[in-house]
Chain A
Amino acid sequence: MIKILTDNWSTIITGFEFTILSSIVGLLGSLILGTVFALMEMAPNKFLKFIGTAFVEFFRNIPLLVITLFFYVVVSHAVKINGFWAGTIALILYTSSFVAECIRGGVNSVDPGQMEGARSNGLTYTQAMIHIVLPQGFKLAIPSLGNQFINLVKNSSILSFVAGLDLMYQANVISGANLDPFNTYIVIGIFYLLLTGPLSVFMNHLENRLR
């Protein structure tokens, strides 16, 4: 196992970097898009509500692989897009539907008095939502958002389907060359645990503190 590590160090580190890059871009993208769709889902406007709900239900109920391959195979005919970005965009769309559900859950558990109080002080719905209710809801949603982030890191292995150069892809490259899948996958597994392990310990800690 040590030999696999030393022989393929730069390959593994490249994969590690791409996995981290994809996860961070995915996190930021899905937080922004997820918040937008959560707000749409809760909007008093019927049309916005419909669009938001349709988007969330659609992406929550189809496999990430379908979205990824759609971007890689179909969209790439129209727009030049490489495997890394096809996978990352798919990750953003897929994860944002889960993020939207987390944020909606958080906002729903904010005391309704907050909204009423803000409205009776003369704030519009949008102002009250953005300045008063959403920040509180966001804080309440942090534990479930953390779990989504862990899932996001794991799901980034989807990039290996579309030559996204991530850890999983490099694992297949390495095991294809050294014909030792057993030890190679264990080494790669350890690298994934280096990312997800501390995150899940941190999330447990946070959940216990909030409880």
Chain B
Amino acid sequence: MIYASAFNSVNMHYLMGGLGITIAVSIISIVISFIVGTILGVILFEEVPYFSRTVQFIVNTIRNLPLLLLIFFTYFAMPKLGVELNAFTATVFAMSVFESTMVSQIIRGGLLSVGAGQIEGALSTGMTKFQTLWYILLPQALKNSIPPLISQFISLVKDTSLATAIVLTEMMFRSQVIYGQNPNYMIPMFAIVTALYFVVNYSLSLLSKWFERRLATS
């Protein structure tokens, strides 16, 4: 097997370090975009005069741009504004901005799917608008949003590979470095990178299916 030597310990160690960066970028972006996205989702749902419209416009603009463009913009154009970010923070920033807008749409949809009777009931028992939102609406909305949120986060994990373009040394980039040294390593590298991405994302999608089944029965 000429391919077996591609999986030597030096290469594997290097590649696994890349997987670590991929996972780190993913987790940080997921946490930030979940928090920011939920806040944006509530703003879109509440229909505050003028303010919500403005937020909606900004969200739609960002949502309709390719993530790759946002990554390039953050890394190459933001220094013009005096914001210098390294590849890691630039990726996290661009992904958080982009994914927050995606999450906001999911949360808004989740809030809309909660029946109007829930709001009326909560308000008529004397809860304030904020209490209604916090104790009644959001918990139900978040529960309904879990499956679409997980599929959004799966695409987030996949999209971290785009950071290769700004030379973030995540897994995809490192695999290119390895097969750049020896063309015989090309096919093994594609095989292992595909397998690793698949394992991470497929576990996430199994989790999503599990939630879907639980939500269907409850």
- Name A residues whose Cβ lies closer than 8 Å to a Cβ of B: 57-58, 60-66, 69-70, 73-74, 150, 154-158, 160-161, 168, 171-172, 175, 181-182, 185, 188-189, 192-193, 196-197, 200
Query: A residues within 8 A CB of B154?
Result: 60-61
Closest-CB distance, B208 to chain A (whole angstroms): 11
CA gap between A172 and B66 in the complex, in Å: 14
Is the pair A181, B73 in contact by a Cβ cutoff of 8 Å? yes
A58, A74, A188: the one contacting B69 at CB < 8 Å is A188
Take A172-B72, A175-B76 as given contacts and tell me if A193 and B197 are in contact as well, using a CB distance cutoff of 8 Å: no
The 6 A-B residue pairs whose C-beta atoms are closest, nearest first, are A61-B201, A196-B64, A157-B66, A182-B77, A181-B76, A63-B161
Query: B residues within 8 A CB of A193?
Result: 61, 64-65
B65, B160, B162, B197: the one contacting A189 at CB < 8 Å is B65
Is the pair B161, A65 in contact by a Cβ cutoff of 8 Å? yes
Is the pair A154, B202 in contact by a Cβ cutoff of 8 Å? no
Interface residues of B, CB < 8 Å — how many? 36
Nearest residue, chain B, Cβ from A159: B68
B205 on interface, CB distance cutoff 8 Å: yes
CA gap between A171 and B197 in the complex, in Å: 29
30 CB < 8 A contacts A-B: A61-B158, A62-B201, A63-B159, A63-B160, A63-B161, A63-B197, A65-B162, A65-B172, A66-B161, A66-B172, A66-B190, A66-B193, A70-B190, A73-B179, A73-B186, A74-B190, A154-B64, A157-B68, A157-B69, A161-B165, A168-B68, A175-B76, A182-B77, A185-B69, A185-B76, A192-B65, A192-B66, A193-B65, A200-B63, A200-B64
CA gap between A175 and B79 in the complex, in Å: 14
CA gap between A74 and B185 in the complex, in Å: 11
Closest-CB distance, A23 to chain B (whole angstroms): 12
B65, B73, B161: the one contacting A154 at CB < 8 Å is B65
Is the pair B202, A65 in contact by a Cβ cutoff of 8 Å? no
Query: A residues within 8 A CB of B65?
Result: 154, 189, 192-193, 196
Nearest residue, chain A, Cβ from B179: A73
Instruction: Output the residue of A62, A63, A160, A182 with the most chain B CB within 10 A.
Output: A63
CA gap between A58 and B190 in the complex, in Å: 14
Is the pair B158, A63 in contact by a Cβ cutoff of 8 Å? yes
Is the pair B67, A154 in contact by a Cβ cutoff of 8 Å? yes
Closest-CB distance, A111 to chain B (whole angstroms): 19
Nearest residue, chain A, Cβ from B183: A77
Closest-CB distance, A180 to chain B (whole angstroms): 8
Take A61-B205, A197-B64 as given contacts and tell me if A66 and B77 are in contact as well, using a CB distance cutoff of 8 Å: no
Query: A residues within 8 A CB of B162?
Result: 63, 65
B187 on interface, CB distance cutoff 8 Å: yes
A61, A62, A66, A154: the one contacting B66 at CB < 8 Å is A154
A61, A73, A155, A188: the one contacting B197 at CB < 8 Å is A61
Query: A residues within 8 A CB of B187?
Result: 74
Query: A residues within 8 A CB of B51?
Result: none
A64, A189, A196: the one contacting B158 at CB < 8 Å is A64
Nearest residue, chain A, Cβ from B76: A181
Residues of B157-203 contacting chain A, CB below 8 A = 158-162, 164-165, 172, 176, 179, 186-187, 190, 193-194, 197-198, 201-202
Instruction: Output the residue of A74, A150, A189, A193 with the most chain B CB within 10 A.
Output: A189
B80 on interface, CB distance cutoff 8 Å: yes
Is the pair B161, A57 in contact by a Cβ cutoff of 8 Å? no
Take A65-B161, A66-B197 as given contacts and tell me if A189 and B80 are in contact as well, using a CB distance cutoff of 8 Å: no
